[in-house]
Amino acid sequence: MEGKSSYGGNMEYLKATELKLAPPGSDTQEATSGVSTRPKKRAITGPNEQHTKSKVQVVGWPPVRPQRMNSFRARRNETVDESGGMYVKVSMDGAPYLRNIDLKILHGYKELRTILEGMFKCSSLGGAEGYDEEGHAITYEDKDGDLMLVGDVPWEMFVSSCQRLRIMKGSEARGLS
Protein backbone atom coordinates (compact mmCIF):
# COMPACT_ATOMS: atom_id res chain seq x y z
CA MET A 1 0.00 0.00 0.00
CA GLU A 2 1.30 3.42 -0.84
CA GLY A 3 1.88 5.57 2.15
CA LYS A 4 0.40 8.99 2.01
CA SER A 5 3.04 11.65 1.70
CA SER A 6 1.30 14.81 2.75
CA TYR A 7 1.63 15.03 6.50
CA GLY A 8 2.79 17.77 8.75
CA GLY A 9 -0.40 19.66 9.39
CA ASN A 10 -2.37 18.92 6.28
CA MET A 11 -5.82 19.31 7.76
CA GLU A 12 -7.54 18.36 4.55
CA TYR A 13 -5.95 14.94 4.60
CA LEU A 14 -6.62 14.44 8.28
CA LYS A 15 -10.23 15.38 7.78
CA ALA A 16 -10.59 12.91 4.95
CA THR A 17 -9.34 10.01 7.02
CA GLU A 18 -11.00 11.04 10.22
CA LEU A 19 -13.56 8.53 11.32
CA LYS A 20 -17.01 9.76 11.98
CA LEU A 21 -19.51 7.92 14.04
CA ALA A 22 -22.35 8.48 11.60
CA PRO A 23 -23.08 5.67 9.13
CA PRO A 24 -20.70 5.51 6.18
CA GLY A 25 -21.55 7.84 3.34
CA SER A 26 -23.24 10.49 5.40
CA ASP A 27 -21.61 13.81 5.96
CA THR A 28 -23.23 14.82 9.19
CA GLN A 29 -21.52 16.20 12.24
CA GLU A 30 -19.84 13.75 14.50
CA ALA A 31 -22.23 12.47 17.11
CA THR A 32 -21.83 10.34 20.14
CA SER A 33 -23.17 6.87 19.64
CA GLY A 34 -25.70 5.49 22.08
CA VAL A 35 -24.23 5.23 25.51
CA SER A 36 -25.11 2.12 27.42
CA THR A 37 -27.33 3.34 30.23
CA ARG A 38 -27.65 1.61 33.52
CA PRO A 39 -31.06 1.36 35.11
CA LYS A 40 -29.90 2.55 38.49
CA LYS A 41 -28.06 5.61 39.62
CA ARG A 42 -24.38 5.04 39.98
CA ALA A 43 -22.45 6.75 42.70
CA ILE A 44 -19.10 6.28 41.05
CA THR A 45 -19.56 7.75 37.61
CA GLY A 46 -21.24 11.07 37.24
CA PRO A 47 -21.96 12.86 34.02
CA ASN A 48 -18.81 13.56 32.11
CA GLU A 49 -18.38 17.30 32.32
CA GLN A 50 -16.08 19.10 30.01
CA HIS A 51 -14.57 22.46 30.71
CA THR A 52 -13.74 23.10 27.08
CA LYS A 53 -15.78 21.44 24.38
CA SER A 54 -13.46 21.49 21.41
CA LYS A 55 -14.47 18.02 20.28
CA VAL A 56 -17.58 16.02 20.93
CA GLN A 57 -16.60 13.31 23.35
CA VAL A 58 -16.38 9.85 21.83
CA VAL A 59 -17.75 6.91 23.78
CA GLY A 60 -15.13 4.88 25.55
CA TRP A 61 -12.16 6.99 24.57
CA PRO A 62 -9.59 7.25 26.07
CA PRO A 63 -9.95 3.63 27.16
CA VAL A 64 -10.15 4.14 30.88
CA ARG A 65 -12.47 2.18 33.16
CA PRO A 66 -15.40 3.99 34.78
CA GLN A 67 -13.74 3.94 38.21
CA ARG A 68 -11.13 6.32 36.87
CA MET A 69 -13.37 8.72 35.05
CA ASN A 70 -14.19 11.83 37.04
CA SER A 71 -12.27 10.48 39.99
CA PHE A 72 -10.21 13.56 40.42
CA ARG A 73 -10.34 17.27 40.23
CA ALA A 74 -7.51 19.69 39.62
CA ARG A 75 -5.47 20.48 42.66
CA ARG A 76 -5.76 23.83 44.31
CA ASN A 77 -2.69 25.40 42.68
CA GLU A 78 -3.62 24.17 39.25
CA THR A 79 -7.24 25.16 39.10
CA VAL A 80 -8.01 26.31 35.61
CA ASP A 81 -11.74 26.51 35.95
CA GLU A 82 -13.00 29.83 34.63
CA SER A 83 -15.85 30.07 37.06
CA GLY A 84 -13.34 31.09 39.72
CA GLY A 85 -14.30 29.00 42.69
CA MET A 86 -17.07 26.69 43.64
CA TYR A 87 -19.30 28.39 46.14
CA VAL A 88 -22.09 26.53 47.83
CA LYS A 89 -24.55 27.85 50.35
CA VAL A 90 -24.41 26.51 53.85
CA SER A 91 -27.34 26.62 56.17
CA MET A 92 -27.58 25.48 59.73
CA ASP A 93 -30.83 24.62 61.41
CA GLY A 94 -31.66 27.37 63.83
CA ALA A 95 -29.12 29.87 62.47
CA PRO A 96 -30.63 33.05 61.03
CA TYR A 97 -28.25 33.58 58.12
CA LEU A 98 -26.83 31.45 55.34
CA ARG A 99 -23.13 31.35 54.58
CA ASN A 100 -21.12 30.69 51.47
CA ILE A 101 -18.17 28.35 51.25
CA ASP A 102 -15.77 27.73 48.40
CA LEU A 103 -15.29 23.98 48.03
CA LYS A 104 -12.52 24.44 45.50
CA ILE A 105 -10.00 25.62 48.04
CA LEU A 106 -10.58 22.71 50.38
CA HIS A 107 -8.77 19.42 50.18
CA GLY A 108 -10.93 17.05 52.07
CA TYR A 109 -13.61 16.41 54.60
CA LYS A 110 -11.44 17.27 57.57
CA GLU A 111 -10.83 20.75 56.29
CA LEU A 112 -14.50 21.17 55.48
CA ARG A 113 -15.51 20.31 59.01
CA THR A 114 -12.93 22.66 60.47
CA ILE A 115 -14.15 25.54 58.34
CA LEU A 116 -17.79 24.85 59.16
CA GLU A 117 -17.05 24.63 62.85
CA GLY A 118 -15.41 27.99 62.64
CA MET A 119 -18.26 29.49 60.69
CA PHE A 120 -21.05 28.37 62.92
CA LYS A 121 -19.14 28.46 66.15
CA CYS A 122 -19.94 24.91 67.10
CA SER A 123 -17.65 23.02 69.43
CA SER A 124 -17.39 20.07 67.10
CA LEU A 125 -19.23 19.09 64.04
CA GLY A 126 -19.14 15.39 63.87
CA GLY A 127 -16.71 12.55 63.56
CA ALA A 128 -15.90 10.48 60.53
CA GLU A 129 -19.46 9.44 60.02
CA GLY A 130 -20.87 12.91 60.30
CA TYR A 131 -22.22 12.95 63.84
CA ASP A 132 -21.01 14.46 67.09
CA GLU A 133 -22.03 14.54 70.72
CA GLU A 134 -24.43 17.40 70.19
CA GLY A 135 -26.12 15.50 67.42
CA HIS A 136 -25.39 17.74 64.46
CA ALA A 137 -24.93 16.19 61.09
CA ILE A 138 -23.56 17.70 57.93
CA THR A 139 -25.66 16.92 54.92
CA TYR A 140 -25.69 18.12 51.36
CA GLU A 141 -27.98 18.29 48.40
CA ASP A 142 -26.61 16.57 45.33
CA LYS A 143 -27.24 17.14 41.66
CA ASP A 144 -30.42 15.11 41.70
CA GLY A 145 -31.80 17.08 44.60
CA ASP A 146 -31.36 14.22 47.04
CA LEU A 147 -30.30 14.90 50.61
CA MET A 148 -27.10 12.99 51.36
CA LEU A 149 -24.87 12.55 54.35
CA VAL A 150 -21.47 14.14 53.90
CA GLY A 151 -18.59 11.71 53.80
CA ASP A 152 -19.89 8.74 51.89
CA VAL A 153 -18.24 9.33 48.55
CA PRO A 154 -14.69 10.26 47.63
CA TRP A 155 -13.99 13.93 48.17
CA GLU A 156 -13.57 14.82 44.55
CA MET A 157 -16.87 13.25 43.67
CA PHE A 158 -18.55 15.11 46.50
CA VAL A 159 -17.21 18.43 45.28
CA SER A 160 -18.51 17.83 41.78
CA SER A 161 -22.01 16.89 42.91
CA CYS A 162 -22.65 19.06 45.95
CA GLN A 163 -25.15 21.85 45.37
CA ARG A 164 -25.58 23.13 48.91
CA LEU A 165 -24.76 22.14 52.45
CA ARG A 166 -27.03 21.88 55.41
CA ILE A 167 -26.13 21.29 59.00
CA MET A 168 -29.02 19.61 60.66
CA LYS A 169 -29.94 18.05 63.94
CA GLY A 170 -28.75 14.50 64.19
CA SER A 171 -32.21 13.20 64.90
CA GLU A 172 -33.45 14.45 61.54
CA ALA A 173 -30.53 12.98 59.70
CA ARG A 174 -30.74 9.44 61.08
CA GLY A 175 -32.69 8.20 58.13
CA LEU A 176 -29.89 9.07 55.74
CA SER A 177 -27.25 6.68 56.98
Q: Does 35 bind other proteins (CB under 8 A)?
A: yes
- Kindly state whether residue 94 participates in binding other proteins, applying the rule CB under 8 A: no
Among 54, 84, 97, 121, binds other proteins (CB under 8 A): 54
Secondary structure (H, E, C), the chain: CCCCCCCCCCHHHHHHHCCCCCCCCCCCCCCCCCCCCCCCCCCCCCCCCCCCCCCCCCCCCCCCCHHHCCCCCCCHHHCCCCCCCCEEEEEECCCCCCEEEEHHHCCCHHHHHHHHHHHHCCCCCCCCCCCCCCCEEEEEECCCCCEEECCCCCHHHHHHHCCEEEEEEHHHHHHHC
Q: Among residue numbers 141 through 160, which ones bind other proteins (CB under 8 A)?
A: 152-156
**By the rule CB under 8 A, 28 interacts with other proteins:** no
Interface residues with other proteins (CB under 8 A)? 1, 3-4, 7-9, 14, 17-19, 21, 23-24, 33-40, 42-44, 48, 50, 52, 54-55, 57-69, 71-72, 74-75, 107-110, 113-114, 124-129, 132, 152-156, 177
